[in-house]
Each structure stands twice: as C-alpha cells, then as structure tokens.
C-alpha cells in the first residue's frame, strides 16, 4: 500500500469526508509532508472504490456545487487495520534493532580481527 493511499484511508477512517476534507486531513496527519493533489486523490479514490475499500457516503450541493462524501467500507477498514499491523511490526523491529549497541555483532568482531 502506497503512502498516499494509506493516508487517504486513514483520513476516512474517522468519518466520511469530501475531497477537500481528505486533502486537508492528509496534510495535517503527515505534518505537511504529503500534499495530495486532486489528480492523485481522485485517481486513488477511484481505484479504492473499484476495490471495494471505499464507497460514496452521501452527496450535498453547496452553492450549486456538488460535494461528494466518501467513507471507508468494512473491507477498507480491514485493509487499513492489516496495514497498520504490518507497519507496527516493521516499526517495532526497527526500534529493537536500533536499541541494540552497534558494532558488537559476531561478524564485526571477526572482521575487525582479520583487519588487525
């Protein structure tokens, strides 16, 4: 799952949102790192709808303009939860390995010995 897709699903996880809402929420969630452009957003939404992960929640007309709200489906929530689990495993593994003192693996000792 690509980062924009992950963030779009994350944005929709809390409540149904329209396009502009998703863009703003993703901006906040990523601390300004990911700025979704409309072309990217609607390309991803179309694909996610096709895959049954997202569906249309409702439509509203504001000042004669169409606002369409999208929401996560159950399958979408499950896919997001699986991805969260995966990312957590990776993050934990990375944190564990980082907390280990560096330069003291068996391999490093042997190579140091050879060089000296």
Partner 1 sequence: MTASPARLERRYRRLLLAYPGPYRRRHGAEIVTTLLDLAEPGRGRPAAAQALHLVACGLRQRFRLPAGRPLALVAAVLAAVAVGALGAAAGNRLGWRTATPVPSADVLRALAADAAGGSRSDVAAYPWETAMNGPVLDTRVTVASAYSAERVRNALAAAGWRTTTLRETTGGIVVDITEDPYVTVPTRSVRFEATKDGLSLTGDSTTVAADARRGVEGRTDQLLGVSADESAAVRPLTVAGLLLGAVAGWLVAAAFAYRLRRGGRSRRRVAAALVAAAFAAAAVPVFVLYGDLQQVLAYDSGAPGPYIVDGPGGRLPAGLAPACAVAGLLALAAALVIARRGARDDTGATGPAPAASG
Residue 44 or 80 having the CB closest to partner 1: 44
Round to the nearest angstrom and report the end-to-end CA distance of the chain: 46
Do residues 54 and 12 lie in contact, with contact meaning Cβ atoms separated by under 8 Å?
yes
Task: Name the token pair of 110.
Answer: 């042997």
- Quick one: 63 or 103, whose CB is closer to partner 1? 63
Which residue is it, tokens 């489906």? 73
- DSSP E strands in 44-107: the ranges are 54-62, 65-72
Closest distance between partner 1 and the C-beta of residue 109, in Å? 51
* Nearest distance in Å: CB 18, partner 1: 7
Interface residue list for partner 1 (CB under 8 A): 18-20, 23, 37-43, 45-47, 49-52, 55-56, 59, 62, 65-68
Cβ proximity to partner 1: between 62 and 98 the closer is: 62
The residue among 49, 62, 20 whose CA lies nearest residue 37 is: 20
Smallest distance, partner 1 to C-beta of residue 6, A? 17
- Give the nearer residue to partner 1 in terms of CB position, either 55 or 105: 55
């Amino acid at each position: 799952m690509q980062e924009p897709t992950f963030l779009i699903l994350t944005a929709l996880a809390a409540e149904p949102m329209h396009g502009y809402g998703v863009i703003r929420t993703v901006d906040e969630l990523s601390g300004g790192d990911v700025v979704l452009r409309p072309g990217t957003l609607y390309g991803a939404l179309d694909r996610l709808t096709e895959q049954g992960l997202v569906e249309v929640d409702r439509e509203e007309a504001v000042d004669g303009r169409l606002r369409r709200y999208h929401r996560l489906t159950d399958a979408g929530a499950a896919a997001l939860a699986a991805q969260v689990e995966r990312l957590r495993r990776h993050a934990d593994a990375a944190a564990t390995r980082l907390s280990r003192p560096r330069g003291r693996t068996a391999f490093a000792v042997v190579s140091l010995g050879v060089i000296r």
